[in-house]
Amino acid sequence: MAQSFSLLILTLFFAHQYVCILIHFSSDFTEGYFTNFRYSPKIFHHTHHHEIKKPYISVHALAKDLIRLNFEVSAYVRIRCIYRLVNKQTASIETNMTAILNTRFLNNSYENPFMNASGVHCMTTEELDELANSKAGAFITKSSTTLERAGNPEPRYISVPLGSINSMGLPNEGIDYYLSYVLDRQEKYPNAPAIFFSVAGMSIDENLSMLRKIQDSEFNGVTELNLSCPNVPGKPQVAYDFDLTRETLERVFAFFKKPLGIKLPPYFDFAHFDIMAKILNEFPLAYVNSINSVGNGLYIDVDKESVVVKPKNGFGGIGGEYVKPTALANVRAFYTRLRPEIKVIGTGGIKSGKDAFEHLLCGASMLQIGTELQKEGVEIFGRIEKELKDIMEAKGYTSIDQFRGKLNSL
């Protein structure tokens, strides 16, 4: 009974507003502010939900809202709200408002910018297959060394409320394992998006010999050289040694002609951003990926009065929410300092569509997810895509290029 009554009111209301809706459809006003009007404190101050959500709207609730709207807001606002309310029923009319996440990166097309971060969910061919079959736009292999490595003793990865700490010690199956996987996949699925391949040698020579192998192979994807992992004991990792970084890149680009990006650790000083960007701008790099884990954090279990990972007396790389501001700063710093041909991949602290949006605003082209993928599994890609699309639609963006890099200053 209540349902029929609501439907009746709804019908009358639609008839009354029909003309207004038509006017709206013909307008090019796309700020999309009212997608979530029921949660907007500006209209309904009795709600405390400010976050962006697309609520399920029952017919009854819809009718109640329409009546309330009629009294509470201006005619113009009403038109916007009605349009949004009926968009479930008239989805087809909204097709040209729908945000798409399609991303061009190094002459390759991806359905969306999301991928795993190297080291997470990419150690075995089974995990790589799962990524390939997930909603991720692309995927990357585990950083490989020449030979397989067992890595450090366990426990070596711990998930904590705001992120993770790890001291894995680069366990991996060796370059041949991953190379044969990607070559095989390339042959089987020639039209699939280009794959990313990560290498992390323990010395320059090891890196050079692995890159030679990739150069000489049929691999037609993108190679990522991880310059942010331990090198010679007692020396900093390569990318914290600016001279060694330049020397490495000189030797790499003397023979390596395929698209190559580098994975960088976080920097915390403007002088370091400047010096590093100046070096990188000298080379035909395809991209930089910022950031690797924030190095050598310590997480403590107060009950046990103990560290939580075994290697290195508990010191380990930090990922997740802890590192997002550092990651955003590094993405922004390199985006604004590098030649525009050198793209930036944003990695660090991405767990929601909002985090992804922030990385894109800072200038990221692709987005990698580590800690949160480890926590949620590959389902995260569907969720985060939807969240990013919802934010874009609420803001009236239909493609990422409309806001990428356009972070406002005050």
- Hey, which residues are catalytic here? 229
Contact stretch for ligand FMN (CB under 6 A) within 28-36, 60-68, 115-123, 145-153 = 115-123
Least separation, in Å, of the C-beta of 354 and ligand FMN? 14
Gap between the Cα atoms of 21 and 399, Å rounded? 25
Give the residue nearest to ligand FMN (CB): 119
Q: Which is nearer to ligand FMN, 32 or 201 (CB)?
A: 201
Contacts of 222 (CB under 8 A, 6+ apart): 106, 108, 194, 195, 196, 197, 258, 259, 260, 261, 286
Gap between the Cα atoms of 386 and 383, Å rounded? 5
Among positions 85, 86, 168, 195, the unique one binding ligand FMN when judged by CB under 6 A: 168
Check binding of 84 to ligand FMN (CB under 6 A): no
Gap between the Cα atoms of 96 and 202, Å rounded? 50
Q: How many residues bind ligand FMN (CB under 6 A)?
A: 28
Contact stretch for ligand FMN (CB under 6 A) within 131-139, 278-286, 315-323, 398-406 = 315-323
Least separation, in Å, of the C-beta of 332 and ligand FMN? 16
Check binding of 157 to ligand FMN (CB under 6 A): yes
Cβ atoms within 10 Å, residue 50: 10
Among 370, 369, 311, smallest CA distance to 112 is for 369
Contacts of 117 (CB under 8 A, 6+ apart): 140, 319, 347, 368, 369, 370, 373
Among 276, 400, 279, smallest CA distance to 333 is for 276
Contact stretch for ligand FMN (CB under 6 A) within 6-14, 299-307, 316-324, 357-365 = 316-324
Contact stretch for ligand FMN (CB under 6 A) within 14-22, 69-77, 81-89, 318-326 = 318-326
C-beta of residue 32 within 8 angstroms of C-beta of residue 24: no
Check binding of 120 to ligand FMN (CB under 6 A): yes
Check binding of 164 to ligand FMN (CB under 6 A): yes
Q: Which is nearer to ligand FMN, 199 or 277 (CB)?
A: 199
The position carrying tokens 């309310």 is 85
Gap between the Cα atoms of 274 and 63, Å rounded? 58
Query: Where do contacts with ligand FMN occur on this chain (CB under 6 A)?
Result: 117-120, 142-143, 157, 164, 166, 168, 170, 198, 200, 226, 263, 292-293, 319-320, 323, 347-350, 369-372
